[in-house]
Chain A
Amino acid sequence: MRRLLAASAVAALTLTATACGGGGGEAAAPTASVTDPSKITGELTWWDTTRPDSEGPTFQALIKEFEAQYPGIKVKYVNVPSDQAQNQFQTAAQAGTGAPDVIRSEVAWTPQFASLGYLQPLDGTRAVDDESDFLPGPLSSTQYSGKTYAVPQVTDTLALIYNKRLLKEAGHDEPPRTIAELKQAALDVKDKTDADGLALNVDSYFLLPFMYGEGGDLLDVQSKKIVVNSPANVKAVETVADLINSGAAPKPATTDSYANAMTALKEGKAAMIYNGPWALSEIYQGKEFKDKANLGIAPVPAGSVKAGAPTGGWNLAIYAGSKNIPAAYEFVRFMTTAKAQAKIAKEISLLPTRTSAYADPDVQGNPDVAVFKPIMDTAVPRPWIPEGGQLFQPLLEGYQSLVGGQATPADMLKKVDEQYHGIMKDWS
């Protein structure tokens, strides 16, 4: 009898103790004024979309640091390939089961997820720390109808990435600054070396620098107009067609286009490609770049109006149906501190989204980041609208038919324009 009493007393004690622990975290959540955030408990699932071999380890190391700082929170790391994460998250979020607590969301997905009600609004929560420190471009991608739905994690843009040795052999010490110079340099490489000049990647995103260069764009968000079929864009697409027809760029493959362009650069079969900082760790694995100094990075060549490349990048967002929202706030906050971003930039050359992170000596010591920073300043923000992700498929199909010779630049853009009107019915 006595033993039984003792046992129930112990049970009651543990019960109250756990109740306190659980209650403390939950009660604190809505007010967002936790006295001691390190006391929060819970288990989080995080969907990461980076390349598991070259980039994943850095993020897993950050998770270890986070768990050491917040002993009550356990983070389950799940790597989802970036081309599947959007679809899988939509399926899981819609069904209400299987969605992660935190997702690494591409900048274009964020407004889409937010418009569908999948994301937790983050205004005034602990997830967002010192909002004014973030670069304006990436920050704008986290906003949807006046609310903040994500926190910028890394940013990127496209640049001209080139093989210094091949350009030098062709008589060019400096990378081309304009499209005309690009064409000339590519033709020289083709004549004087056994490599091709420019390897094009037949993808909508990689067509944008040419359009921005001529002053064109896909949409005019302010006046809700579809402007893809503009004279500037026709000129841009004609430029691309000319690069191919003149032989400056060999006729690109439309299937596995990205991989083929990357292989061509890595193997020294092409001197130049357009690509972003995410590709650097893979490029350095190529035989031409065993000596990292052989790789050159320059702003994308300018068109007749300016030099501009699209703003890309990734945000961290919290699923609105998460059972551990307070813990998720802390995780997002931790992963987007200047310190965490500096570690990411130092180890895998992904660009920070915080102004203060660029002052970190670790970041300044990384030459790739140092090169990309000024390029980032000229990057053009894309229209952050829910339909943004749907704009690429029609443009891709058009680009493919252009390369295949089934459409002229004017025809191609006319067809893309028609399809855009089908996607966004209330736009003019």
Chain B
Amino acid sequence: MAVSTGRAPAAGESARGRSRRHDSPGRLRRALSAHWYAWAMIAPVVVVMLVLIGWPLARGVYLSLTDATEANMGRTIGVNVIPSTYEFVGLDNYLQILTSSLFWDKVLWTVTWTAVCVGLHYGIGLGLAVMLNRKLRLRSVYRVLLILPWAVPAFVAAFIWRYLYNSDYGVINGFLEIAGLSGVGWLDDPVTAKIAVIAVNVWIGVPFMMVAMLGGLQSIPAELYEAAEVDGASPWQRFKAITLPGLRQVSTTVVLLGTIWTFNMFPIIFLVTRGGPGSETEILVTYAFREAFTGIRNYSGSAAWGVIILAMLVVLATGYRRTLRNQGGPW
């Protein structure tokens, strides 16, 4: 969501940037008359964006400032008339969330989860990409096999893993018992459950990183490596001086995307552990979902959670962009 909302202002920005160059009065009118067809072309997109993204977003922000729940939102169903009794409460919901220890627990775990997952995705993805970028037998077979986890729908993968982890009848514990070890209650202990969900997410996320890196590697001219070899550079030096800088553009983009995806990776947590044991593996989005969809739905509370999550990602993405721009990156 943060990605797509980013697009509309970006388009507006560049248009504004262009009009800023005409420094005479009435530049808006002139820009309009000169580029009216361009405006007409993007108008449908802008309208669709406003309807699909702008309106729900505005409504969500508004609800987060009220005390609306399923019980006090007015509606008429057949003979039953329920009056609207929810009120504007300002920032109460936000204060309540931000002052609860639960929120900070979840933030800590979500950040850990995101950092560990993205780190492993990137590291393993890069390693596999470098390995597969040289000529070796059955290369295409390896590539297909390594992409497979990505092709499996997330919910199918989650259920398979859940079965593998089952403490009494799971395959992993089956192997442990054959090896003479006692089984582990993988999803029953907070620490192992966290390791377990991270493992599943790494398994699912590595192929994307690998494919992206492989694309990046193939765009690095082979002459650079040849020249470095002639100069007597060691493989490690070549990797550091050619491969990493050459992958910079791809890396920055996929790491940002990976961070946003992992931060909001709902299905894995929800389907593998259901947030358990207790609510130990629950990340911010799954908690917001639970807030919204159990019992009498708390619209205002869950909207506030949603806005906070969105704000965190916007801050992260902006900070990331700024750092990269300062380092002369492509952004």
**In-complex Cβ contact of A387 among B166, B185, B273, B295 (8 A):** B295
Complex interface bits, B238-258 against A, C-beta within 8 A gives 1, otherwise 0: 000000000000000000000
Complex interface bits, B162-193 against A, C-beta within 8 A gives 1, otherwise 0: 10011111000000000000000101111000
B77 at the interface (CB under 8 A from A): yes
A304 at the interface (CB under 8 A from B): no
Complex interface bits, A249-267 against B, C-beta within 8 A gives 1, otherwise 0: 0010111100010011000
Note all chain A residues with C-beta closer than 8 A to B185. 251, 253-254
> A interface, how many residues as a size bin?
35 or more
In the complex, what's the smallest C-beta–C-beta distance from A418 to chain B, in angstroms? 11
Binding-face segment, A210-218, A223-231, A398-406: A398-406
Let me know if B295 and A389 touch, CB within 8 A.
Answer: yes
A96 at the interface (CB under 8 A from B): yes
A322 at the interface (CB under 8 A from B): yes
Complex interface bits, B286-321 against A, C-beta within 8 A gives 1, otherwise 0: 000010011111000000000000000000000000
Binding-face segment, B2-10, B27-35, B78-86, B229-237: B78-86
A116 at the interface (CB under 8 A from B): yes
Note all chain B residues with C-beta closer than 8 A to A16. none
Q: Which residue of A lies closest to B74 (CB)?
A: A117
**Which of B81, B82, B294, B295 counts the most chain A CB atoms within 10 A?**
B295
Q: Which residue of B lies closest to A391 (CB)?
A: B295
**In-complex Cβ contact of B77 among A118, A264, A389 (8 A):** A118
Binding-face segment, A18-26, A86-94, A277-285: A86-94
What is the CA–CA distance of A116 and B185 in the complex, to the nearest angstrom? 40
Let me know if A117 and B77 touch, CB within 8 A.
Answer: yes
Q: Which residue of B lies closest to A108 (CB)?
A: B295
B143 at the interface (CB under 8 A from A): no
What is the CA–CA distance of A390 and B276 in the complex, to the nearest angstrom? 17
Note all chain A residues with C-beta closer than 8 A to B162. 255-256
Q: Which residue of B lies closest to A397 (CB)?
A: B278
Decide yes or no: A397 and B70 within 8 Å by CB, A112-B295, A254-B188, A260-B169 being known contacts.
no
What is the CA–CA distance of A263 and B168 in the complex, to the nearest angstrom? 10
What is the CA–CA distance of A181 and B79 in the complex, to the nearest angstrom? 54
In the complex, what's the smallest C-beta–C-beta distance from A400 to chain B, in angstroms? 4
Decide yes or no: A404 and B189 within 8 Å by CB, A93-B77, A116-B71, A387-B296 being known contacts.
yes
Q: Which A residues lie at the B interface, using CB under 8 A?
A: 87, 90, 93-94, 96, 112, 115-121, 251, 253-256, 260, 263-264, 319-322, 325, 386-387, 389-390, 393, 397-398, 400-401, 403-404, 406, 423
* 13 contacting pairs across A/B (C-beta < 8 A): A94-B73, A112-B295, A117-B82, A253-B167, A255-B162, A387-B296, A389-B294, A390-B296, A400-B277, A401-B277, A401-B278, A404-B188, A404-B277
A255-B187, A397-B278 provided; 13 other pairs, C-beta below 8 A?
A90-B297, A112-B296, A117-B81, A120-B80, A253-B185, A253-B187, A255-B165, A263-B168, A264-B168, A319-B77, A325-B78, A386-B296, A389-B294
